[in-house]
Amino acid sequence: MSKLSFKQELFIEEYLISFNATQSAIKAGYSERTASVTGAKLLRNAKVAKKIDAEMKRLRERMSEDSNKVYAELWKQLDAIDKKIADHEQAVEQIDTLERDNNDILPEIQELNEQISTLNQRKREASKKENATLVSKLEEDIEVLEQELKPLKKDKDARYREIERLYKYLIKPAAWEKIMSMRKSILHDILDRGGYKSTDKLEVSGNVKSTLDLSSLSIEELRSLAKDK
């Protein structure tokens, strides 16, 4: 079988872009007056048809690969958003626990500070009276209280540092709506690419419709839903 002519090659290239035989024939250099007939004949030409079929197959394979890449990227984006949301929720819970723990020990810290303050006042008075024995006894009592206070303050400060660290995982109210809207959009795109005609009203069975809020779906639920389709 002889090779395709230069014009036939051009026709094929143009046809794969527009899928319009007449315009493709014109752009390939054939007569505009007979382009309609020429285009139809070229499509019936065995060599041309074979080349077009081969190119279409290659194009479909490439589109399939590109589609899979896009699909994978959507899942990646969804995973990232859900991780951000999970980190936020975990941070909120941990901050609440840490603040509650600190609030629980604050009265004890305050009481110890007051006791130490009282003993220091008595120590100053004893010093003025040059009562060395009492001063020594008060210093011992103060030392005991300070040793008791030290770990409490250390734990409190450590909790505050941890709270400060966790704040970076919190999603600000202004960004929350944007993130949830983005998540919903990605969910719709994933389901749409999975074959659903309408992603806001999923068909459950027969004519029954579901008003499922896609933004509430977990990754596992969505994967299961897309897989079932």
User: For tokens 């527009």, what's the residue?
Assistant: 18
Provide the β-strand partners of residue 202. 210
**Phi/psi of residue 169, each to 5°?**
-90, -10
The predicted pLDDT at position 95 comes to 93
* pLDDT at 133 (0 to 100): 92
- Structure confidence at residue 65 (pLDDT): 75
pTM, 2 dp: 0.55
pLDDT per residue as tens digits for the range 65-119: 777 787 788 888 888 888 888 899 899 999 999 999 999 999 999 999 999 999 9
Strand-pair partners of 208: 205
209 — pLDDT class (breaks 50, 70, 90): very low
Q: Rounded distance, CA 122 to CA 119, Å?
A: 5
59 in Cβ contact with 16 (< 8 Å)? yes
| Confidence at residue 195, expressed as pLDDT on a 0 to 100 scale | 53
Q: Which residues fall within 8 angstroms of residue 91, CB to CB, at 6 or more apart? A: 166, 167, 169, 170
Domain limits of the chain?
Answer: 1-65+172-197+209-228, 91-169
CATH class, 1-65+172-197+209-228 region: mainly alpha
Crossing angle of helices 6-18 and 35-44, rounded to 10° = 90
Query: Tens digits of per-residue pLDDT, 134-159?
Result: 999 999 999 999 999 999 999 999 99
Residues 6+ apart with CB under 8 A from 187: 78, 199, 214, 215, 217, 222
- What is the overall mean pLDDT for the chain? 82
Per-residue model confidence as pLDDT tens digits over 173-202: 888 888 888 888 887 777 666 554 443 443
∠ CA 127-133-136, rounded to 5°: 75
Ramachandran class of 2: left when φ > 0, alpha when ψ lies in -120 to 50, beta otherwise: beta
Conformational region of residue 5, where left means phi above 0, alpha means psi within -120 to 50, and beta covers everything else: beta
